[in-house]
A and B are shown apart, each in its own frame.
Chain A
Amino acid sequence: GPTSPPFQRRRGQDSSTGDLMPMPTSPPTDVLSPRLVPTVPPNEVDMSSPLMYGTPSSRVEGTPRSGVRGTPARQRPDLGSVSKAPQVDLQSEPPSADGAVASEANAGQRLVIWGTDVNVGTCKEKFQADFILCVVGDPVLNVNCLHVQSFDAELYRQLICYPQEVIPTFDMAVNELFFERFPDSILEYQIQVRPYNALKTRNMRNLNPEDIDQLITISGMVIRTSQLIPEMQEAFFQCQVCAFSTRVEVDRGRIAEPAVCRHCNTTHSLALVHNRSLFSDKQMIKIQESPDDMPAGQTPHTTVVYAHNDLVDKVQPGDRINITGVYRAVPMRANPRQSNVKSVYKTHIDVIHFRKTDEKRLHGLDDAEQKLFTEERVQTLKELAAKPDVYERLASALAPSIYEHEDIKKGILLQLFGGTRKDFSQTGRGNFRADVNILLCGDPGTSKSQLLQYVFNLVPRGQYTSGKGSSAVGLTAYVMKDPETRQLVLQTGALVLSDNGICCIDEFDKMSDSTRSVLHEVMEQQTLSIAKAGIICQLNARTSVLAAANPIESQWNPKKTTIENIQLPHTLLSRFDLIFLMLDPQDEAYDRRLAHHLVSLYYQSEEQLEEEFLDMAMLRDYIAYARTYINPKLSEEASQALIEAYVDMRKIGSGRGMVSAYPRQLESLIRLAEAHSKVRFSEKVETIDVEEAKRLHREALKQSATDPRTGFVDISILTTGMSATARKRREEVAQALKKVIQAKGKTPAMKYHTLLEDLRRQSETAITKEMFDEALRALSDEDYLTVTGKTVRLLA
């Protein structure tokens, strides 16, 4: 066919460079036990030994090589005169035909070219991008193994099983192609192919002897990195007699020191010259299983990883990464002085590719943590979503051990789903908060803490902290000096750690003012600014806050407003979308149901428990799916409904001279409506969503913003910390006081007590000391008078 000339050419070139190993021809059955049956061609005798695994020389073959290796990049441009025509031909060839030939003998040679094909065919844009990288000086081609698999399963299998052989072949192919297309470019060294996303293994715990020498991808967290270790690649020897020099490649960590000088035949005259030998960089990295992958009740495993050359210092302790590499097992070194040896292998991974998973999070792309849902699971989830009562079902599945409080559970459910993330940074507004914040307040012992614990255990990135124990530092971030590297590191606190999750704060009222002030920024701007020890930065903290507060007096005082009961600054309260009261309802029917619920907790059988456990997993998946895949947008009707709702809310108060809604409440409504449509797996926010958002919002307001004096809902309790009637009354008392003072004529100073007595005598309503103080304060604000100790002086 038309494709044969390039094949020929490549084969010829392969033999000339001589570093390309032929593809293994062993049948696929060998894969099962690679350590038993050598996976390498017979001409490489040593390769059958388990010793070869992980030794430096073989590692060079498997992992991206350093620029100093035998095949200099300069050779490549010479071959660059090949026209682009063959590629086009290759691409036009259907993959299925390729697969058919692949099983034939000598398949390896051809597969190389198909490997090239994969790169061009599926990653063409990437290739272009890589070209730019090349100019910068980082000639690396990252290949997603999934693409390889979708292109050719057989090739993928070979890549996984024999990475040591296949990756260098990929390298060759890529380089050829590169220089075909860009003949004039000069590279520091050859392009290296770095496959990632090998699906062989996902979890460190599943690594077993069968994975040895295979390409694996695992996720984990970096816990330690070593200093840079120079590793000798090529030793330089010089004869002490005749100054003849020779180079010896390091083989499996050993240097075969030449005993005789080839030039002058003197024995033992060759000396190693260190600074003319070649070294490559190496770093030992320890990674630990990420906590999400762990079975309960076990400790996390750790694995040693070696990074080479430019992968050195790419990761820091604390980073969460995905590693693709070759799993190695090295026997403990046999000691010549000892007859028996430890029968244990040391294992490590030679890294080929790092991918930081938390780096992506900073840019808001959560694809690394995208849970993979099986088709059936998605189907079940969708079926569940299609049920008309899905909202109620989910709400009741939430913390089943906590009785009733349905609206609170619904609110928390919506919080778990969250609104749609919108970006207004173009218009200068920055990020629009999509996370719902909820405050629970109420009597002690109403299972607030339990609810918080439940939520914390439900969501993957939840943090639980108590206002009593946590300082501003614990919530935000602090700078720490790493004892080993003397490097300053930023240690993040609960709020940053729960980015994209929920931060549960118990005993919110016990928090110190300075700590609470941090929350102002987090709860509206969703960022955290840090200026400490010369580090000035702004961290993302897109966290939903679920807080619980106890009343200042041990019991909730129904005669007081929310603010008075919990003594929190209104500036903070207004940042909560929903504020719920958890009170003891005290009615008989409720008591009976509660009793039944509690008693049943104590005698339910194992099976029933099992059932509920499943529900928790389901709930978790449901939320994860909705958060990842559903991004509802406001429909026309929904926006109309929202506008109406807002206008209505404002109208309610205006009749009594009060404002009962602010733009912040409108934003809350939008978020809640979006969350509700997420619950339904709907891409569109519809009127029913707005209705529910309105209802829930109203419920919460009814509970928390009712003016105990008038019985009306008054949003200003939450926004200004004082109800409008209270403010009005304060004004009246102040005026009355002013009159009293004016009636006294020209007296520059008065006794505090006499003034209070006078006012009490004149006023029809009872004047408390507090009211009097408030009035005095109001008048002093007007610069009418000033209070010093027990004396009141007029200023005018």
Chain B
Amino acid sequence: MPSTDDWLNNPLGVVEGMFAASQNTPNSGWAAKAVAFFKDRLKEKDAHTWVPSLNDVPLHYLKPNSLVKFRCFIQDMFDPEFYMGTYEAVDPSTKAKVLRCGKYKDVTECGVDFNSRSTMTAERHTFYCVPIPGESPWVKEGYAGSSQARVVPSTSYAPTRQKRSYEEDDDDMDTDTQPQKQREPHTGPHSPTEPHGNGDCKRREKEAPSSQAASASHLDLNFPLPGEKGPSCLLKVYEEWDGFKLNEAVEVFGILSVSPALSALADEDASSSLLDPAGGMETAEEQRVHSPPASLVPRLHMLHAKPLPHNNPLLPAAGLEDNNSAFLSSTLREMAAVRAELLAYFTHVLLGDALAAEYLILHLVSNVYTRRDVLPLGKFTLNLSGCPAVASFTERFYQIIQQLVPSSYYLGMTLQNMNQMRLVPKKDYVANRLLSGALQLATNTSLFLDESQLEQGQLDTTGVRNVTALGNLISWQKVDYDFSYHQMEFPCNINVLIASEGRSLLPSDCQIHLQSQVAPPDLEAYLGGIQVHPQASQLNKFRMYLSVARQLDYSIADEVTKSVEDDFVDMRKDDPQSISAEDLHRMLVVARLLSLSLGQTSLSRDSWLRAKHVEMLRRSRMEQNKCVNGNEP
């Protein structure tokens, strides 16, 4: 059996060894065995942490043809590829014909005999993968910190690498990022091309020599969100490709291929396309997109992939279902306490408004858990109206959310953004790829819409389309991708939070008007202090809490069902106008989220009453607000 170093550093050797061994026994199923071998190795305790990750190690520090992992998002799916699965080549030293395996490789050995009868064509699929869009800096750092991969030592690299992991270990990382943020206030709303995540600036500083940052400028890597950085890769999938879906977040283990021959071949193809009748079918753009230089977009030949049920480095990677009952029960016990802390924190952030803080928690743990014909269930889009228009409250508020959720995106709804940004992905037939848009987001991404940025003016065609797309996203949790001849519907699961001054022009499941407990003169000072973060340990508790609450199962017992029905009938009896079917829908969602936020996996009578109470408070506040607005001249 190959040693540890072999399967990590020379996985192709392992594959080839198995291939060679199988030659004498037909139908040996060596390919399946090879995949199983790597799966078993990775199952071993902590084994996966020994695999270097494309996410946090710059490409030029990774050994070509070694095993790497990549936490990524499937942005596009290319056409299937036929390749030489097995072929015969002449060994340059012995001059003998040898049978070779073409799997997990981009280029063949020299001296291929095209006329050989043992050539076997096989099929593989190519996915274009990018890092998970809007991934928060703390997630990136969390994963990077837990990595134990031994990367080839390099003088220029080692210090930064170590510095980052240390920084992760001790708790002062927030104080480290803090001044950065204040120095560079959020510029996003004014220019969509500038980075939104403050962590990006930090990354850029530290990885200045990284080739990706420098070269990304002339090659469009097609990231869904503007200003994103990081590696993208062409993922070659050899089996069960039907199981993957667009916009899925997966962790891939595969063999890294950065052969310079790939780029050379691409150039060759482009220049010789005039002579080659077969090469003429690809346009230059298509070439650029489908065979970018391997130094910029490495190829990753997949051995094993697992979908990410969540993207939180603090949680066990396997998800909550299996063999983590100990973890689950301990977290469940603590949940009520953490919730109270979080509520206090949010109340502080939301200018002392406890009710709004309550709703914010509900919003952050919401999740589309199923769909009934066209109706997505469990979504809870929150419209936080009455946001003060001073001291960039909304932007500060977003940064706090970003600190808590694994991935998020701030979209300032300025007229310019609405009229110019590409929100909906569009198929580019010239380059034969899906041009990404800001709404191509992974499951459970928090989308923060800042409507306070919107001013009066004219929306053009794109603007109307963008607003419609946002409306569809909120109402149906789907995005209609533009394939120019038709549209294609892609379901999504995005938590949309709309911050606005008045009622939002977009639909929402729930609107709450912020009632500031802070006197206007003190507002500036108060907001300045908002960003004093809790301790990192507390932050981590919050992060864990939100991710766990979202993943819990939930049920309603029959007797509770009955009492809910009775309640509804009674309420309608008193005043039919007071509650509609829509209100009941919302109350059921609120009750669900409230239970989950308390760590209860079934609805209790108490939670129902509490949900009713909270809803009542909110509605009375809305009516109040309406009156106030009505009295205004």
Question: Which A residues lie at the B interface, using CB under 8 A?
Answer: 35-38, 48-51, 54, 56, 207-209, 212, 221, 223-224, 226, 229, 231, 253, 284, 286, 288, 291, 294-304, 317-318, 329-335, 338-348, 399-401, 403, 445-447, 449-450, 453-454, 457, 466, 469, 584, 586, 588, 591-592, 594-596, 598-603, 606, 609, 612, 616
Stretch of B57-65, B99-107, B150-158, B319-327 contacting A (4+ beta carbons < 8 Å):
B99-107
- CB-based contact A209/B121 at 8 Å: yes
- CB-based contact B242/A295 at 8 Å: yes
CA distance A340 to B569 in the complex (A): 76
- CB-based contact A297/B490 at 8 Å: yes
Q: Which of B84, B375, B569 contacts A343 (CB 8 A)?
A: B84
Contacts of B589 in A (CB 8 A): 602
CA distance A60 to B429 in the complex (A): 30
Contacts of B465 in A (CB 8 A): 469
CA distance A101 to B289 in the complex (A): 55
Can you name the residue of chain B whose Cβ is closest to the Cβ of A483?
A: B430
Main secondary structure of the interface of A (DSSP, over half): mixed
- CB-based contact A49/B82 at 8 Å: no
- CB-based contact A299/B106 at 8 Å: no
Closest-CB distance, A378 to chain B (whole angstroms):
25
- CB-based contact B372/A595 at 8 Å: no
Stretch of B139-147, B265-273, B358-366 contacting A (4+ beta carbons < 8 Å):
B265-273
Contacts of B484 in A (CB 8 A): 223
Question: Restricting to B556-591, which residues have a CB under 8 Å from any CB of A?
Answer: 556, 561, 564-565, 568-569, 572-573, 576, 580-582, 584-585, 588-589
Instruction: Assess whether B122 is interfacial by the CB under 8 Å rule.
Output: yes
Contacts of A403 in B (CB 8 A): 581
Mark each residue of chain B from 75 to 109: 1 if its CB lies under 8 Å from any CB of chain A, else 0.
01101111110010000000000000010011111
Top 4 nearest A-B pairs (CB, nearest first) are A297-B245, A339-B110, A595-B568, A595-B565
CA distance A584 to B582 in the complex (A): 11
- CB-based contact A284/B280 at 8 Å: yes
Instruction: Assess whether B281 is interfacial by the CB under 8 Å rule.
Output: yes
- CB-based contact A469/B468 at 8 Å: yes
Q: Apart from A297-B245, A602-B588, what are 15 other A-B pairs with CB-CB below 8 Å?
A: A36-B119, A38-B117, A50-B119, A209-B122, A253-B277, A298-B245, A302-B432, A317-B485, A338-B265, A342-B107, A344-B106, A345-B82, A346-B281, A598-B585, A606-B370
- CB-based contact A599/B107 at 8 Å: no
- CB-based contact B83/A343 at 8 Å: yes
- CB-based contact A399/B108 at 8 Å: no
How many residues belonging to B are interface residues under a CB distance threshold of 8 Å? 88
Contacts of B488 in A (CB 8 A): 291, 294, 299-300
CA distance A460 to B271 in the complex (A): 45
- CB-based contact B377/A602 at 8 Å: yes
- CB-based contact B576/A284 at 8 Å: no
Instruction: Assess whether B111 is interfacial by the CB under 8 Å rule.
Output: yes
> With A209-B123, A253-B276, A596-B565 in contact, do A400 and B373 touch (Cβ < 8 Å)?
yes
- CB-based contact B555/A603 at 8 Å: yes
Q: Which of B246, B262, B279, B373 contacts A333 (CB 8 A)?
A: B279
CA distance A343 to B584 in the complex (A): 60
> With A291-B486, A586-B572, A602-B588 in contact, do A334 and B114 touch (Cβ < 8 Å)?
yes
CA distance A614 to B122 in the complex (A): 35
> With A303-B79, A338-B265, A342-B262 in contact, do A592 and B569 touch (Cβ < 8 Å)?
yes
Contacts of B118 in A (CB 8 A): 36
Closest-CB distance, B103 to chain A (whole angstroms):
9
Instruction: Assess whether B112 is interfacial by the CB under 8 Å rule.
Output: yes
Q: Which of B108, B491, B572 contacts A341 (CB 8 A)?
A: B108
> With A300-B488, A303-B79, A343-B84 in contact, do A599 and B580 touch (Cβ < 8 Å)?
no
Q: Which of A48, A302, A453 contacts B117 (CB 8 A)?
A: A48
CA distance A457 to B373 in the complex (A): 9
- CB-based contact B278/A346 at 8 Å: yes
Closest-CB distance, A155 to chain B (whole angstroms):
27
Contacts of A399 in B (CB 8 A): 373
CA distance A288 to B81 in the complex (A): 16
Show 22 residue pairs from A and B whose CB-CB distance is below 8 angstroms, ordered by the A residue: A35-B119, A50-B121, A51-B115, A56-B277, A229-B280, A284-B280, A298-B244, A298-B246, A299-B77, A300-B483, A332-B269, A334-B112, A340-B108, A341-B265, A342-B262, A342-B265, A345-B121, A346-B281, A454-B373, A591-B572, A592-B565, A596-B565
Instruction: Assess whether B592 is interfacial by the CB under 8 Å rule.
Output: yes
Instruction: Assess whether B35 is interfacial by the CB under 8 Å rule.
Output: no
Question: Restricting to B47-80, which residues have a CB under 8 Å from any CB of A?
Answer: 76-77, 79-80
Closest-CB distance, B43 to chain A (whole angstroms):
28
- CB-based contact A347/B82 at 8 Å: yes
Can you name the residue of chain A whose Cβ is closest to the Cβ of B602?
A: A603
Contacts of A35 in B (CB 8 A): 119-121
Closest-CB distance, B377 to chain A (whole angstroms):
7
- CB-based contact A340/B581 at 8 Å: no
- CB-based contact B377/A299 at 8 Å: no
Instruction: Assess whether B36 is interfacial by the CB under 8 Å rule.
Output: no
Closest-CB distance, B581 to chain A (whole angstroms):
6
